[in-house]
Every structure is written in structure tokens, then in C-alpha cells.
């Protein structure tokens, strides 16, 4: 699976804004001691989440991301990771059986 396929699948899911997803995400991130800063926005059918870690490394990113997925996910969940020079990015799609769901673009630095 690649990012383009995941984004194509997301088009068949109702990913309109849900205040519950925003508030659950904020609540989860506020409890993480190793996050020095985060910002969440909703734009054009997806949430954009920027996370700055106190100690940026792959293991820390994986730990926080998998915990976030377990905290938020619905019945079906897909994600793709992209490693960049100064960041690690995930595209994360989760949906219920009725095709209501959410799409995240998560950037760790």
C-alpha cells in the first residue's frame, strides 16, 4: 500500500469534521510527556497533526503513533509511513462499517 492508494480509498469514506475526533486526539496528546508541542487542524477532509517530540527518534515516534491509533481507531484502519530527512509522516485512515471515518496526516519532528 502507498499514500496515493490510501488517499484514493479515503475518497469513498465520509471523513467530514467530527469534534469528538479532535477532542479525543487533543486529550490523548496532552497526556504524553515526551511531546513538547502539538497542533491539530482540520482542512479539506482530513486532520493535520504536527507533533514535536522532546527526543525525536523512530522508536519514540512508533510508540506514540501506535498508541494514538489504538486510542482512536474504528473497525477498519490503514496507515502508511513516509520517512523524510527531518520528519516522519503518517497517513492514517480509519472507518466504521457505515463508511463514516477520519483521515489524519501526522507529522513527527
pLDDT tens, position by position, 29-74: 999 999 999 999 999 999 999 999 999 999 999 999 999 999 999 9
Q: In the predicted model, what is the mean pLDDT of residues 68-95?
A: 97
5, pLDDT greater than 90: yes
- The CATH code of domain 3-108 reads 3.30.460
In this prediction, what percent of the chain has a pLDDT beyond 90?
Answer: 99
100/14 Cα distance (integer angstroms)? 5
Segments making up each domain of the chain, as ranges = 3-108
Q: Is 99 left (phi over 0), alpha (psi -120 to 50) or beta?
A: left
Whole-structure pTM value: 0.94
Q: CB within 8 A of 48, min separation 6: which ones?
A: 40, 41, 42, 104, 105, 107
Amino acid at each position: 500500500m502507498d499514500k496515493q492508494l490510501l488517499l484514493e480509498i479515503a475518497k469513498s469514506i465520509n471523513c467530514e469534521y467530527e469534534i469528538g475526533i479532535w477532542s479525543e486526539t487533543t486529550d490523548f496528546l496532552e497526556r504524553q510527556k515526551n511531546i513538547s508541542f502539538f497542533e491539530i487542524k482540520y482542512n479539506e477532509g482530513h486532520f493535520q497533526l504536527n507533533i514535536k517530540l522532546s527526543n525525536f527518534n523512530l522508536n519514540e515516534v512508533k510508540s506514540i503513533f501506535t498508541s494514538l491509533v489504538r486510542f482512536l481507531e474504528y473497525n477498519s484502519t490503514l496507515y502508511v509511513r513516509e520517512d523524510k530527512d527531518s520528519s516522519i509522516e503518517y497517513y492514517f485512515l480509519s472507518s466504521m462499517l457505515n463508511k463514516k471515518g477520519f483521515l489524519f496526516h501526522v507529522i513527527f519532528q
